[in-house]
Amino acid sequence: MNYIGMEYFEQLLKKESLFKDESKLDINYIPDKLPHRDKELSLLSQLFLGLITNPNSISRKILITGKTGIGKTVTIKLFGKILENVSRQRDINIKYAHINCRKERTSYKVLISLVQLLDNQFPKRGYSSQDLLDFLTEFLHRYNIHILLVLDELSYLINKHEDLIYSLTRINDDNLKGDQRLSIIGIVRDLSCLNNLDNSTMSTLQRNILEFKKYSESQTFNILKYRANDSLKKNVLSDKMIEMISEITSNSGDIRHGLNIIWRSCKIAESKNLKYINAECVRLGNQNLLPYSTLDVLEYMNSQKLSFLLAIIKTLNNCEKIKISFNEALKRYYMICENIGTKPRSNSQLWNYLQEFKRENLLNTKIISENIKGRQALIEIPDLNLPNFERNIIKILSSKGFKI
Ligand SMILES: Nc1ncnc2c1ncn2[C@@H]1O[C@H](COP(=O)(O)OP(=O)(O)O)[C@@H](O)[C@H]1O
Ligand SMILES: [Mg+2]
């Protein structure tokens, strides 16, 4: 590094940051408090109180539902922390296990993660699901443990027609002379995915449903203010700016969107050598910003599915209509496949993709006919900035080696 380079670096080091603690805006950070989720937290406490008062004699199974970004995951994680702490103080062995089924997409993967959480030496391969269940049963009994298993984004598992929950609950009933070793919290966006579940599993889960409601704009304001207070220095973000961000966030209701704008607009203010975030920083921070959940979904998507989504977006971008048909999207998809040199997927596979996009909240569809000869649907994408959506998909595809 030459002299000027070093000096510049020194200057940067000397510059005071506007952040107090940037990591507190991370997606996975669990704040100490959750404004406007008191009701949910107290309900959870009441439901699971029995695990503390009568250890290993009851098992709870509940289902949490609600839209994306409204604090389902973080509330359950905070509750898990509280429950573990309370039980530790009383020498009761409760273990909290949070598994995201979008990441661990098969029953086997869920089981392995669970087993490895208990025993991090456990090998990844070489066991059948039944072996793993046997190991779990034996382990929980030997060390006198009750597990609170959270299956987050459970719909990704349910769609595989596997009945993990049923197998897991058998840990309780048969093998352990009445001992109850496992409670389950499932988290889903909506209840429609439950139709694929086994009847008895479904009726067990449906008995206790806790629905999380979307935050109002003023609740969003309070939450963002609390999070800004935690992560930014004093007076960096004024109430007026928080109001502006809350208004943008209220559209999708996804708090992650708001947190992301706070982080980005603060970075922008820093780069402009400002002492606080102004309206322009917020506007710039909101530009090119897909709601976070959408980016999340895209990152895990395979390239064929991404190409089909890209085809839909390109078709929407290039026409004057707000809705396009499945067939129009197909035409564009074949062109894209030819361009990047991949073999197109079958129409019925693409039809399935379309249903998945809908479940993942990426678009809306209206099915007009669904007989084998002619499947017809109208496709529309609400609220999102399409060119930006397109750019992000192209970026992800090219990171996987496909040039569009
Ligand atoms: N009441 C709240 N107080 C503080 N932060 C919150 C609150 N609700 C949600 N968040 C934050 O918003 C983001 C999205 O919440 P998350 O629990 O991931 O949503 P969901 O699981 O419902 O999609 C997380 O970063 C979370 O910390
Ligand atoms: Mg979540």
Q: What is the rounded average pLDDT of the residues 345-360?
A: 89
Q: How confident is the model at residue 217 (pLDDT cuts 50, 70, 90)?
A: very high
pLDDT reported for residue 1: 47
What does the pLDDT look like over 163-215, one tens digit per residue? 788 888 888 865 556 789 999 999 998 887 776 666 666 677 778 899 999 99
- Please spell the DSSP secondary structure of 100-157, one letter per residue: ETTTS-SHHHHHHHHHHHH-TTS-SSS--HHHHHHHHHHHHHHTT-EEEEEEETTHHH
Check: CB of residue 248 under 8 Å from CB of residue 281.
no
223 lines ligand 1 (CB under 6 A): yes
65 lines ligand 1 (CB under 6 A): no
Check: CB of residue 145 under 8 Å from CB of residue 94.
yes
188 lines ligand 1 (CB under 6 A): no
pLDDT reported for residue 161: 56
189 lines ligand 1 (CB under 6 A): no
24 lines ligand 1 (CB under 6 A): no
Check: CB of residue 250 under 8 Å from CB of residue 288.
no
pLDDT reported for residue 259: 95
Q: How confident is the model at residue 376 (pLDDT cuts 50, 70, 90)?
A: confident
More confident site: 371 or 167: 167
What does the pLDDT look like over 94-130, one tens digit per residue? 999 999 998 888 889 999 999 999 999 998 888 999 9
pLDDT reported for residue 197: 65
Q: Which ranges in 207-286 belong to alpha helices (H)?
A: 217-231, 239-252, 255-271, 279-286
Check: CB of residue 231 under 8 Å from CB of residue 32.
no
279 lines ligand 1 (CB under 6 A): no
293 Cα nearest atom in ligand 1: 23
224 lines ligand 1 (CB under 6 A): no
With a cut of 90, say whether residue 319 has pLDDT above it.
no
With a cut of 80, say whether residue 361 has pLDDT above it.
no
% of the chain residues with pLDDT over 90: 57
**How close is the Cα of 329 to the center of ligand 2, in Å?**
30
pLDDT reported for residue 323: 86
277 lines ligand 1 (CB under 6 A): no
Residue with the smallest CA separation from ligand 1 atom 20 is 69
Instruction: Tell me the residues surrounding ligand 2 (ion) with CB < 5 Å.
Output: 73
Residue with the smallest CA separation from ligand 1 atom 25 is 27
pLDDT reported for residue 102: 84
pLDDT-wise least confident of 4-13, 148-157, 255-264, 299-308: 4-13
More confident site: 382 or 44: 44
- Residue 351 CB burial class (10 angstroms; 0-12, 13-18, ≥19): middle
70 lines ligand 1 (CB under 6 A): yes
With a cut of 50, say whether residue 383 has pLDDT above it.
yes
Average pLDDT value for the chain: 88
Residue with the smallest CA separation from ligand 1 atom 4 is 34
Residue with the smallest CA separation from ligand 1 atom 17 is 71
CA dist list (Å): 362 to 70, 73, 151, 379: 17, 20, 22, 11
Residue with the smallest CA separation from ligand 1 atom 13 is 256
76 Cα nearest atom in ligand 1: 17
Instruction: Please state the pTM of the whole predicted model.
Output: 0.78
What does the pLDDT look like over 61-94, one tens digit per residue? 999 999 999 999 999 999 999 999 999 999 999 9
